[in-house]
Amino acid sequence: MVVTYAPTAHKLLQGVFAVYKPSGVAISSLLREVQGRLVQDINTLEQRPQKQMILFKPASETHLTKGSLLDCDTSEPSNDKLHHMVPTYVPDWFDHPLVQGPRYNNDSFHISAGHTLDVHACGLQVLGLQEQGEEILQKMKKLNLPRRYQVKGQFGLASLTFGGESRIVEKSTWDHITEEKITRVLTVLQGKHRNACMEASGLDLSSQQAYRLASKGFLRPYVPTDSVIIDMKLTSLKLPEFILDITCIRESCIFIRKIIHQIGLELRSNAICTQLQRQQDAVFTIHDELTLLGKNVNVNNVIDSINHTNNILRKSVLKRKRYFAKTSVKMLQQNKSDILFPEPSKNSTSETVNKAFDHLASS
């Protein structure tokens, strides 16, 4: 659906959408650019008609059929024509765009950003339009949903700010590093985070509820904590460069770069983060068509992506509520495939076991 009328477009432009932020651009300039493009684009659409003003004009000056408010009697004596004032619509020249300026300017779009990316990081950036967008962003922040990053790093160098842009402090050899060693280091580094994640759920760990939730998936942190890594995976290794996939909660870009630095130290070498790209933020992914590049930001595209995210967000928010609800417990209790029955058994347990396994894997 293509929107051509500006006021409807302005009403529809309320919500949350995702944008690709290139590296080297600060968030403030990104927001200004998006705002500027939207304003530019919405001013090219069909604007509301020029307002009309009511003026009392002598009847003789007016064409009686054209623009007259009252149905004027033509049978009146011609002497009164000069003095009889008739209310008429007249175009209000104050309201002309050449007088007032374009209909929409930067102030008509209130933009806010979700969890922000660094200047040097690139990738998905969630933005919110108008107050509704800001409210949704705040709700998403409280949900603590995980974010996924693709981190490109280089072994052998250590820099001041853990990234590629600052001064190199130390250089070391990296030819002893293999994929096996990296995976071992990653599993050890994640252990502390896994335990912290479960403890921060705020539940008493000796309760049945904690066991139920832990067996369904991982317990998510409910209580405010430090950054928590959910998963770290090595996707490619071409010495000295490597690419990691990191999923985490409540993190910052500096935290991720520091993790890379720590991995380098654990491997008795050094590492810097050469590129940091956010690939997924809660329900938004980078490969979605509705994640907009800067050049694609125009009114219709933004409206489409807002619509799309509205549908998804509602579903995931509900899912989150169900995660901690009592009703989901009944599903687990009914699933009796966790018991080994004696042979000969009428129902083969392998099928039910596999079904339960699939159910657990998909949740």
Which CB atom, from 10 or from 148, has the smaller least distance to another protein? 148
Binding site for another protein (CB under 8 A): 22-25, 33, 120, 152, 154, 156, 164-165, 167-168, 170-173, 175-176, 181, 183-185, 187-188, 191-192, 194-195, 205-208, 210-212, 214-218, 230-231, 233, 247, 266-269, 274-275, 293-295, 338-343, 345, 348-350, 353, 357, 360-362
Query: Looking up tokens 């590629």, which residue turns up?
Result: 164
* Separation between Cα atoms, residue 148 and residue 251, nearest integer Å: 10
304 is catalytic: no
Contact 19, 297 (CB under 8 A): yes
Amino acid (1-letter code) at residue 247:
T
Which CB atom, from 13 or from 19, has the smaller least distance to another protein? 19
What is the DSSP secondary-structure string of 42-61?
A: HTTSBPPPPPEEEEEEEGGG
Q: Please report how close the Cβ of residue 31 comes to another protein at its closest, in angstroms.
A: 12
Q: Please report how close the Cβ of residue 179 comes to another protein at its closest, in angstroms.
A: 13
**Two tokens at 85?**
């004032």
Q: Please report how close the Cβ of residue 350 comes to another protein at its closest, in angstroms.
A: 4
Contact 168, 159 (CB under 8 A): yes
Which CB atom, from 136 or from 267, has the smaller least distance to another protein? 267
Which CB atom, from 16 or from 186, has the smaller least distance to another protein? 186
Task: Kindly give the interhelix angle for 208-216 and 327-334, rounded to the nearest 10 degrees.
Answer: 70
* Separation between Cα atoms, residue 222 and residue 246, nearest integer Å: 20
Q: Please report how close the Cβ of residue 231 comes to another protein at its closest, in angstroms.
A: 4
Active-site entry in 41, 71, 73, 118: 118
* Separation between Cα atoms, residue 6 and residue 329, nearest integer Å: 49
**Two tokens at 218?**
């991982």
Catalytic residue annotation: 118
